[in-house]
Structures are given as C-alpha cells and as structure tokens.
Chain A
C-alpha cells in the first residue's frame, strides 16, 4: 500500500488524503474523523454509525464504498436527519439487467465459496453476489428474484434452482452508557483497521479479542465507556461488584454473533437456504442496564422500560412505541437487546421482527431502474395531427387531437360543410364461425338474428350486474361473420370480455381484434356525400348500412352511421394507408371548406344529439333504465348477459336517471351541481353552449323526487329545465339525408 498524494477526497469541504484500497470509512478514520461523531463501528455494513452523504446521496454506509479521488463526503448533522434535497436531482437513468441461472449464492465468505463450488461441481450455472465486491443484495422476492445493487446498475437475478444465503453473522454491539463515543469498534473491525494501517493506540478488548492485535483484555461486566467525544476509558464490574476503570484509545467489542438472516427470513416459503454463520442461532446478549439500545431512533434502556411498564409487552408494540429497529439498520444493532430485555422482564424470548425489503439500501432512482411508464398508443395519424397544430390529449386511453385550435370552426364545418375526424381509436373486432351468431345473441341485449348482412345496429354492452360497460355497433358481414365496434375507452377491455364469454360458452368462433391494425376516418357533414363522390364512391351505403369501397384509391370498409347528427361515413382501412387517405380527403375537400375536427368539437356535436359517452355520462352502476336506454334492451329475447340483473333491478323503484337539460346563457362546467330549490338532485355530466341552438345544453343525473323527475331546476344559480333529447334535429332527418 503506497500513499499516492493524488488520492484525495473532500470531507465537509476539506481535502482528505487516502490510500489506494481504502474504503471511504477507512479514509475518514485515517484522517482522524469519525463519520457520525461516534458509535461502535463494525466495518461490515451492519451498523448505522458510518452513514454519511456521499456524492449527494445520504445514508451511505461509508464502509461499503471504495474511496475515490474527488469523492464528496458530507457528515450527517449530529442533531437532525440530513436535509431533504431541494429542487431537481438530475441523474442518469440507472439500468437493471436481468440474469438467469440455476443457483444464486449471496455472500462469498468461506461458506459461500464452498456452496458455489459445490453447485458448480454439480454442473449448475451459479451466480455469486458478494457485498465485498460491490454487489449488495437488497431483497429476495417471489419469482424467485434476487435483486442486487452493483457498481454498474441493478442486477435482477432469476434462479431456476435455489438461493443460498451465505451472508455470515453480524457482531453484537455494546449497550452501555457512553456507547455513542468514537473509538469503539467491533473485534473484527479492530483487526481490519489494524491491517489497513490505522493506529488504534491502546486497545482494550471486551469479550472475544480481535485477531492479530495486542490488547488488554477487560474482564467482567461492561459498566460504561468514559470520554468526551472519544472513548478514554472503559469501566468494568468484577464478579465481586467492584468497578475497574481501564484507560484506552480504542475498545474492541467481542460480544457474540447474530446471524445476518434477514434475506433468509424474507425468502421464507421460497427455495432459500442459509449456510455458514447466517444459519446459526443468534447469541442473546445479557440484558442491558443502561445506555442507548437503538442509535437510529435514539432509544435507551430507560425508554424500553418506560413503554413496557405502560403495557407495551409485545416485541412489535415495543418497536412501534419506541421506534427502535425502524431506522436505517433495521434492527441489526438493537434487535438482540430488545429480545433480551423483554425476556429478562418475564416475557418469552420473542421471535425477530418480520424481515422486509430492503436489506441494503438503494436510492429511489436505483429502485426505479429499467421501469417504464405505461405507454399511450398513437394512431397512424398522430403525426398529421401534430403537423396541423392540434392540441394532443390523452383521451380514452389514446393520444387524440383535442382541438386544432378553432373548436367552434371545427364544429361549424361539421354542421354546415364537411369535416374529417380520426376515429382510429375505436375498438374493432371480427367474429366468424358457426357459433358467431349465438355468441352475439348471448352477449348483447339486442336481437342480432334479425340483423341482415350489410346492416349495422347500435348496441349497449352490459355486465352481469346489468350495468352499461360500453356501447358500439354490431355490423353483419354475412351469415356467420360480424364486425363489432367499441368505444375508444372500451377497446382495450372488449377483447378480454368477448373472448372470455366465447370460451366460457364453448362456442366455435374465430375472433380477431383489429383495433390496432385498422385506421378509421369519419367523414361527416352535409357535404359528406359530395366529398365521398369526389373520392370515387358515388353510391355510398344507406344509413346504418356498410360495404366495401375504394376511396381515393384505397380499399375501405364504409360504415354509414352518425354520432355528430350529420351524414357520416366511417372509413375503416389499413393503418398503412391512413396518412394517404387523410391527406387525399383534405385535398379533395379543400374547396368545400373541409376542416378536421378534434375530440372537443365531436363532444359538442354529439351532445346536441343527446348521445351519451360511456364513462363520462355513465357511472359504473348505470343500468339501461338509468340512462334512458331501455329501448336498446330486448327483454323478450332469451338469455343475454345482464338480462337477469335487469329483470331483478326493474322490480326496484328507479332512483335517478340521466336526463337532457337546457338553460340560457353560457354552459356550466361539467360536474356542476343540480338543485331543486334547496335540495341537491344531481350533477351535470356533459355540458356545452350549443352554437346552433344558442343556449346551453347538458346531460345530467337527476334524482327522482316522490317518483318524478324534477323539471324546473337550478344550476350554478341560474334556472334550468329538463327537456327531451335530442336537442338538435330531433327527427334525425339530417343524419339520414
């Protein structure tokens, strides 16, 4: 070991030299500094006395990190926890690597090396994780999964076989007055410090002496440590009761061993085995008379006595009432003493606390390594919307254009001219097979058999509670083949639902979810016919019909329906063609004043028509009756999902219903409360000022009062009325034009 002058680190702003091979703790001690002002040091990662802030990370065990030139160490404040970081903590993303093997051995001491060698002799693929090599295991999880922090990121090790815990045993620390002083070390730490060339001065050994050091052995029972900041003497009591004071510079502590078995206990029920000292039972030290038991939380023997005397007898309650064992070392130091204390006071020797992750600490950034946000899908037209300056929003689980900047202009393009909208987010599913008709008859509350090929029908989807799950279309392609559509929000759920029922009824069907394979563009407005004619479709399908057609040279399935209240054609096509189709439609309609419309305009348009949005206007206990959609439910059909629930709930008087509302003046915010005099009767679910009607139109929940829906209401302090829907074009002639 040579003293290279270039090896310097910074401690509390001052330069400190260190030797190659030093860990940060040794570097501090070499400079005559104690990382936490005092306390018995173990140099083994067990105790809380060498914690410091290293390179901006607090609570680092300095004995576990190699000293590095330029390393910045700040000692924690002596009287308070380290400060909460202010502002952002920039940092590079940490990577977690996944490693597969047969056997994991944790700890590379003698027993760990032996276990690894034995497994290798048996032809096993062995991964070893050794804290001394910077591979600190933070926990064992079901899987099983062993997670370790390493010097180049996190390692997630997945063993097919067993996990061997060879983490050895921790040394028991002293509990006596003065145990917070500097200069107290465990016997093993004393040996290591001597080897590192630290001058320990006069060493007094209590219990098992350190190896390789000349010491004065202190006999008897430990009474206290004397000194101001550093230990200057240790006081022992002989068998005859007399006290003896031994002057010293360092006290070496050899009071026994406690297995480092937290990982073993954490892995309880998994293929985990301990070997060597980790498998031993804990030495239980003599019950302490005085002094600090838990340094992390500052708990003394008196504190234990005080809570026990007030009825806290269970180990877990003592822990919770004092917080002993809840700090950084998670009971490593105090647990043997609390068990000893309670046993001494007449309780049975209670088992250790539950072992919970994490056993070695990691930062939140390290914990989050290789984690990803849930991705929000984008339609094939995402780039088009952004180029057009759209405000993109997450809506219904997708990125969608909320508005292109002129919502009212977009609205009028639909009402008076022609507009296109990206509805690729709709759920789309093909159903084929001899069992297809039966599947849909049993799944939907509508009569499917009467639906002719080439026709479509609006449908509700119910669950077994009779609540509305979703709405959409059933489109019949031929005798045994159907196309189903679902809302954007329902699309991720629809496949699970349909497949589950098809399997549960054992029906012979083929299902293909095409939600992510097909784009869909809605062409809507009184000039939609004209645009479609220009696009090559001179004879578009009638209302609620569908057929295949070539639109601007692109193969599409054309569904005629209407959500906006105007003539609408939904063009389903391969996502590979979305951009081309979109651009061609915009070009063909340029002189018609075509504009794309966003979600916000669409929500206005549909509200004028009184169309509900499942999830916005419905709640998760909305029956068809509550949303005024009983017309969509054919109870004279044989069984379908939700039928029995509707029969059951129909016997109960209705309590509330979704209703159309209107008022003069600006539209209240969605969520606005609805009052009948001073009685709360419900709230607004959808609300917009209708440009075409010149008043605010809304959907909202109303409670029935004495069996009647109230008609004259107050919303945001202004009078409002319950009115039938649709608000606009109540005969529906525009959509059928």
Chain B
C-alpha cells in the first residue's frame, strides 16, 4: 500500500480563452500560488497560468523541499517567517496534504569564526520572529545523534544554530494543492503552452504570444524559473539575474530515523530524510551559468564525500537517483519581486536556492500587489529598482546552498 499516492487533489482543465484579467507565465509553485491567492484572497479568478511543460516541471519539482526562515537580514527573516507560517497552515486551509513536517534545522559551525556567525544568526532571527538558538556540541548530538562530532578528523563540529521551525513539504503536493485550489475557483491552467512573446502597446505589456495564438491580459506576471532573462527582454528589461544549475541526489528508501535537516557552513552540503525514507543530499550551486539539466559525476562524488564526513552512516546507503535544476541568482542573494517599471508587467524571480521556501508568501504578496496595485511592505525591499537605488539586500544567510 502506497501512502504517497495522491488520492485527493482533482485537477480540472479548461479550454483556453483569448483574454484574461491576469496571465501568469510559469506553472511552478510561485505562479500557481499567485493564482491561488488572487482567487482566494482577492476574488480575482479571471486568471490563466501558462506552463510550457507540465505543472511543477521546473524547479519546484526539482528542489530539495527545505523550508526555513533563518536568514541574515531582518527583511528576509520577516518574509520567510511569514512563508513558514503559511506553509504550516496550508493543509488546514486547503484540506489537502502537503506532507508538511516540522523537523528543525541545524546549521553547523566548524571554526571560531563559524561559531560567531551562527551566534549572530540566532540573535538576528530571534529578534525578527524566526526562532533560532545557538547550541553547543552536547545539544547538537542530542538533536542529531548520527553526526560525527569529530567531523572525520577534518571538520570537527564546534557549534551550530538550531532553527526549530525548519521544515520540509512534498514539492509536488504543494504544486497540486495550489493548482487545485486555483482551478476550483475558476482559474485556468494551460500546460504545454509556452509563451513565445509579449504583446506591447507602447511601453505597456497587454498580453502574451503563444504557439496557439495571442492571449490578451490586463496584467502579465512572470513567474518563470530559468528563462526569466529571455522573457523580461521581450519587455525591454535587463535583469540582474544569472542562471546556475543546482544538483541533488537521493538514496533508496530506508526506515525513518534521521529527524532534522542538517547543513554545514564549511562543507556546503545539507541532508534530510524525506517522508518516503530517502536520504536527500544537496550542495552549492554550480559556478558557471547554465541552463543544462544534465547531472555531473563530480557533484555526486564530492557531495557524497562531504556528507559522509559528518554523517558516516551514509557510507553504505545506496544512491537511487541524481538530478539537476536551475537557479536564478540575484547579485545580493535576495529575491526580485514586484513592479518592473513596465506597465502591466510584474515579476517574481531571483529565487536562487530559496524559491521553494517562499512559495506561499511569494504568491500571497504578488497577489496583493496585482490586486491592489500597491507594493506590500513585506516585499517592498526586494523590488527590482533596489540596485539603482543602492539599496541591495545583501544576505549572507542565503548564499548558495538551500
């Protein structure tokens, strides 16, 4: 008996119309959540989500499902804590299971400077509403008995910040829950519908071109991952985004027994056990920009090696599958959301390695922006024009892994 078979969600597909009030490009988590919140919070249901493959085919379905709010700047801590809270209540709100598990997240330090950084993270997080505490070796061992505190004699574990709110949820179920919730309220979702151009009226975006013909829209939202530079350029926008691959792998299924999410600041890997029982391991992004989904052998070797150094029980686990997604990295490791300076065109991008965590809050805030025309306070710091305003959101708490 497979408890993971989706038995509740019902997707209802519609024929495409020629015109919608809002067209959202990209049927991943952010696009679907935006549609869902437009419908549920603002009653805006004349909405189409256009997806070039199938819903969740891009980075939402490829990510490693960590949800956390232990970021490095107050603006980000507040933003992601809101997401953490929305995730925690999403099952109750929708009546659908997203396999949400609050697990706690350990961020390990291996040097004096690392200890200082994790203490500082705990201090900042706590002040802005995301519970994080500094923990010493004894507590670390209690939270995750599998850790080799000597770090294989190479990277001893000296301390950690512990973020009890750290959680995971099944990525596909998040996608389907938002898709179903939006569809139920009348939102159209069109798969296999790639956007090939933006329709401009003067300097305003008024619709999109697709292989099946043009669709006009009162507002167009780019919620694409990986191809945002090309899409934005159709509106004459140049973006501070570079797209990098991010790889991960899972082992076969084993009995549950690895409770927290563990991350190492120096070894740059992270590990958790999925609800299915697979050990899921990831590491930093590939350094070269690329749109290739091809997996590399060096990643498997290096990530496996680093993980095994702190978690020696991994040695004899068998690898099941490795895969690759692509991450749109911004220069300051923070998202880029909101108005673009081009009328009728909104953007949610720069999701780097932190996009999954932000799906609920990203969707909620984008929906509010589109519905009201006013940029909500929570996302105002993340606007595209912050680079020109010399107000970058440099966030060391988010750089490059998960």
Contact = CB atoms under 8 A, between A and B. Distances in A.
Do chains A and B directly touch (beta carbons under 8 Å) in the complex? yes
Interface magnitude class on chain B: 35 or more
Contacts of A142: 294, 296
B7 A88 contact: no
A393 B2 contact: no
Contact of A671 (B56, B121, B294): B121
A328 interface: yes
A680 B74 contact: yes
Nearest to A147: B297
Nearest to B61: A320
Interface in B285-335: 293-297, 300-302, 304-309, 312-323, 331-332
Contact of A316 (B54, B110, B317, B332): B54
Contacts of B112: 393, 395, 402, 600
B10 A299 contact: no
Given A323-B4, A673-B123, A81 B253 contact: yes
Contact of B305 (A306, A362, A373): A373
A89 B313 CA distance: 5
Given A323-B2, A368-B308, A671-B120, A86 B323 contact: no
Nearest to B391: A655
Interface string A611-644: 0000010011101000000000000000000000
Contacts of B312: 88-90
A357 to B, nearest CB: 5
Given A322-B2, A621-B332, A310 B121 contact: no
Contacts of B154: 373
A303 B1 CA distance: 10
Contact of B319 (A303, A307, A362, A465): A362
B111 A364 contact: no
Contact of B315 (A83, A298, A363, A394): A363
Given A314-B54, A394-B111, A669-B116, A298 B124 contact: no
Nearest to A615: B113
B127 interface: yes
B89 interface: no
B301 A88 contact: no
B316 A365 contact: yes
Contacts of B317: 58, 85, 363-364
A616 B127 CA distance: 21
B119 interface: yes
B191 A314 contact: yes
Interface stretch (B28-36, B38-46, B254-262): B254-262
Given A81-B254, A297-B4, A306-B7, A361 B319 contact: yes
Contact of A683 (B113, B124, B148, B389): B124
B2 A298 contact: yes
A669 B124 CA distance: 12
B9 A85 contact: no
Nearest to A307: B6
A399 to B, nearest CB: 10
B11 interface: yes
Contacts of A147: 297
A364 B307 contact: yes
A87 B2 contact: no
B172 interface: yes
A89 B315 contact: yes
Contacts of B11: 310-312
A420 B153 CA distance: 30
B283 to A, nearest CB: 12
Given A317-B55, A364-B319, A652 B297 contact: no
Interface string B1-21: 110111101111100000000
B120 A368 contact: no
Q: Point out which of B11, B121, B300 has the most chain A C-beta atoms below 10 A from its C-beta.
A: B300
A549 interface: no
Contacts of A86: 257, 313
A737 interface: no
A141 B322 CA distance: 12
B385 to A, nearest CB: 12
A301 to B, nearest CB: 12
Contacts of B227: none
B394 interface: yes
Nearest to A396: B113
A509 B146 CA distance: 54
A698 to B, nearest CB: 13
A297 B273 CA distance: 17
Contact of A323 (B5, B120, B294, B323): B5
Contacts of A363: 315-319
A321 B6 contact: yes
A680 B78 CA distance: 13
B304 to A, nearest CB: 4
Nearest to B281: A364
Nearest to A297: B2
Interface residues of A, number: 83
A354 B304 CA distance: 23
B92 interface: no
A369 B251 CA distance: 16
Contacts of A80: 255
Contacts of B116: 669-671
A276 to B, nearest CB: 26
Interface in A553-588: none
Contacts of B5: 299, 303, 306-307, 321-323
Q: Point out which of A297, A616, A621, A655 has the most chain B C-beta atoms below 10 A from its C-beta.
A: A621
A396 B393 CA distance: 24
Given A139-B297, A311-B12, A619 B111 contact: no
B308 A365 contact: yes
Contacts of A621: 332, 392, 394
Interface in A323-370: 323, 326-328, 330, 354, 356-358, 361-365, 367-370
A208 interface: no
Q: Point out which of A59, A364, A394 has the most chain B C-beta atoms below 10 A from its C-beta.
A: A364
Contacts of A141: 294-297
A306 B332 CA distance: 45
A362 B320 CA distance: 8
B319 A358 contact: yes
A684 B288 CA distance: 34
B321 A83 contact: no
Contacts of A56: 316
A312 B319 CA distance: 28
A305 to B, nearest CB: 11
Nearest to A672: B123
Contacts of B2: 297-299, 303, 322-323
B352 to A, nearest CB: 15
A669 B111 contact: no
B316 A652 contact: no
B256 A84 contact: yes
B57 interface: yes
28 contacts: A81-B277, A83-B254, A83-B255, A87-B313, A91-B316, A96-B301, A297-B4, A298-B2, A311-B12, A321-B5, A322-B5, A358-B300, A358-B320, A361-B252, A361-B320, A362-B318, A364-B307, A373-B306, A393-B113, A395-B111, A616-B113, A621-B392, A621-B394, A669-B119, A669-B120, A671-B121, A673-B127, A680-B128
Given A58-B252, A365-B308, 4 more contacts: A81-B277, A143-B297, A371-B301, A672-B123
Interface of B: 1-2, 4-7, 9-13, 53-57, 61, 74, 110-113, 116-117, 119-121, 123-124, 127-128, 146, 148, 154-155, 172, 176, 191, 251-258, 266, 273, 276-277, 279, 293-297, 300-302, 304-309, 312-323, 331-332, 389-392, 394, 396
Q: What are the 4 closest A-B residue pairs judged by CB atoms, nearest first?
A: A671-B120, A311-B11, A371-B305, A368-B305
Interface of A: 56-60, 80-91, 96, 139, 141-143, 145, 147, 156, 297-299, 303, 306-307, 310-312, 314, 316-317, 320-323, 326-328, 330, 354, 356-358, 361-365, 367-373, 393-395, 402, 465, 600, 616, 619-621, 623, 648-649, 652, 655, 669-673, 680, 683
